[in-house]
Structures are given as structure tokens and as C-alpha cells.
């Protein structure tokens, strides 16, 4: 795939004073992308694929990248209203709102709460539901070396993607930076995902009016694909597409297939 250069800028929300980093690339219809608990990958393959067809606008939550203002976001409503504030500030034209994992949970909440403001919704292996018979894996107690196998169907390829451009873990200065980054990101994610990623979304999904595409990797080891069915059943105008040979990071592992599904649906 052609290398796509993401540009990055900072915006400030007047209401909270939060400073938000926004990555952007591509031309076409507006597509708002909300990342998962891990944030953006370096040269993220999904963002690159989406940018070949859409104008991708991908804000980072406080705690991720250069975005700050995490102290004011504590619970699900805070996160949801923050994301709606960011969307408003970005002044997008009827964007397709795409959210992966934690970002999918936030996107679904946005669509449930602001039902007229989100008309096109794409959920990539979203968090937010809990089925007793299919517990979501406890991401927070995992050690870094366990993550590739948890997130990717092809763990070796996933490991390469995840460690691309990273430094040497034996270097104390790098290790410290890594720990700070990890604590900021997952500390923030924990506010809506820890210890169980259920903040009552199930009882609000009925409100979603947006046309909704749900995409799941068949081999998702973090949030099993059975959750896809639960989302589809609870959202009125929803379609579920399962993608073979893909894990939880379905968009990073099979970017072309995800792009294709989005293009077909919207």
C-alpha cells in the first residue's frame, strides 16, 4: 500500500481547556476515527488504508500522544461528551464515525446519546458489552510481551507492527518513557474499561438511529466475535461483517478488507 503521510495538529476545547492532537490524511468524505486503548500505531495501516478513500480525521484522547486534559474525564458520560465536543470543534460534514474497541464503545455512546448528530456509524470490535459466558480478557493485567498474541491473529506480524520504531527496553531512559506512556494511555482507558468494560451501554443501544456497520475479526482473542452478534441484535439498523484471519486489531491486520466493507456499506 502507498505510504500515506498523516499530518498532526493541536486543537483546544474552550469548554474544558483540553488540548487535543488530531491526526489527518486523505481526501474525500469526512471520516472521524476514534482509536482503541492502545492509541494509534506508528504508520497505522488502517488509517493509511482509510485515507486512500476518505478524509480521515483521528483525534487522540487525553492521555494519548500530545493530547492532555485527562484529569477532567472520569466516567463514560465525560468521555462521550468530550468526543462530541471534539467532533463539533472539528466541524465535520456528516462524517462516518468509526471507532475501534474502546473507540467503538465511545462511538456507540455518542450515537446513542446524540442520536441525530451521528448518522453513519462503524464499530470495529467495539468494547462496551459483557456476556457472562464469554468474558472479555483482562487487558490490564497483561504483560507487554503477551499483547501481540492477544490482539492479532498472526502474532508474529502483529509484534512487528507493535514494536516498529520503538526503542530498546533495556535502556532505562527508554523504559521510563515507555512506562509513562503506557500508564497515561491505559490509565485513561481504565476509567471506562477497568475492571469490566461495561458502563451500561447495553441499555442505551436501542437509541441508536445511525446506519451501523459492525466489523469483527473472526479470531478476536480479546473480545470474542460473539459480541458482534450482541451488538447487531441491539442496534436497529445494523449489519455485521466478520473478517477471516483477523484478530482484535482487525483494522491493522486486514486494512483492505475493512476499507472494502466500509465502502460497500456507506
Residue among 10, 42, 157, 180 that touches other proteins (CB under 8 A): 180
Q: Which of 5, 116, 156, 195 binds other proteins (CB under 8 A)?
A: 195
Question: Do 19 and 82 meet the contact criterion of CB atoms below 8 Å apart?
Answer: no
Integer CA distances (angstroms), 22 to 16, 58, 96, 166, in order: 17, 5, 16, 21
Q: How many CA atoms lie within 13 A of 9 on its CB side?
A: 6
Query: Between the CA of residue 104 and those of 14, 17, 33, 146, 159, what are the distances in Å?
Result: 25, 24, 9, 23, 23
Residue 182 near other proteins by CB under 8 A: yes
In terms of CB distance, is 53 or 191 closer to other proteins? 191
Among 83, 111, 188, 230, the residue binding other proteins under the rule CB under 8 A is: 188
242 binds other proteins (CB under 8 A): no
Nearer to other proteins by C-beta: 43 or 69?
Answer: 69
Which residue, 69 or 190, is less far from other proteins as judged by CB? 190
* Interface of this chain with other proteins, residues 21 to 80, rule: CB under 8 A: 70, 74
Q: According to the binding rule CB under 8 A, does residue 207 interact with other proteins?
A: no
DSSP character string of 58-123: EEPPTTSTT-B-GGG--SHHHHHHHHHHHHHHHT-SS-EEEEETHHHHHHHHHHHHSTTT--EEEE
Contacts of 183 (CB under 8 A, 6+ apart): none
If one asks whether residue 175 binds other proteins (CB under 8 A), the answer comes out as yes
Binding mask 135-174 for other proteins (x = CB under 8 A): -----xxxx----------------------------x--
- Give me the residues that bind other proteins (CB under 8 A), please: 70, 74, 140-143, 172, 175-176, 179-180, 182-191, 194-196
Amino acid at each position: 500500500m502507498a505510504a500515506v503521510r498523516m499530518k498532526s495538529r493541536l486543537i483546544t476545547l474552550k469548554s474544558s481547556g483540553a488540548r487535543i492532537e488530531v491526526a489527518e490524511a486523505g481526501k474525500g468524505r469526512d471520516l472521524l476515527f476514534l482509536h482503541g486503548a492502545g492509541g494509534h500505531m506508528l504508520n497505522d495501516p488502517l488509517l493509511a488504508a482509510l485515507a486512500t478513500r476518505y478524509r480521515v480525521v483521528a483525534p487522540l484522547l487525553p492521555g494519548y500522544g500530545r493530547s492532555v486534559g485527562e484529569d477532567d474525564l472520569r466516567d463514560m458520560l465525560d468521555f462521550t461528551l468530550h468526543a462530541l465536543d471534539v467532533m463539533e470543534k472539528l466541524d465535520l460534514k456528516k462524517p462516518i464515525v468509526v471507532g475501534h474497541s474502546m473507540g467503538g464503545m465511545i462511538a456507540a455512546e455518542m450515537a446513542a446519546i446524540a442520536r441525530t448528530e451521528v448518522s453513519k456509524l462503524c464499530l470495529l470490535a467495539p468494547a462496551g458489552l459483557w456476556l457472562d459466558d464469554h468474558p472479555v480478557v483482562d487487558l490490564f493485567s497483561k504483560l507487554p510481551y503477551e499483547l501481540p498474541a492477544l490482539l492479532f491473529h498472526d502474532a508474529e506480524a502483529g509484534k512487528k507492527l507493535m514494536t516498529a520504531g520503538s526503542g530498546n527496553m533495556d535502556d532505562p531512559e527508554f523504559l521510563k518513557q515507555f512506562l509513562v506512556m503506557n500508564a497515561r494511555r491505559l490509565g485513561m482507558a481504565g476509567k471506562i474499561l477497568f475492571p469490566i468494560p461495561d458502563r451500561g451501554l447495553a441499555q442505551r443501544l436501542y437509541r441508536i438511529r445511525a446506519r451501523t456497520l459492525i466489523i469483527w475479526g473472526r479470531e478476536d482473542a480479546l473480545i470474542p466475535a460473539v459480541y458482534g452478534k450482541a451488538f447487531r441484535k441491539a442496534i436497529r439498523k445494523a449489519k455485521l461483517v466478520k473478517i477471516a484471519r483477523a484478530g482484535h486489531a482487525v483494522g491493522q491486520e486486514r486494512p483492505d478488507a475493512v476499507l472494502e466493507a466500509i465502502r460497500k456499506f456507506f
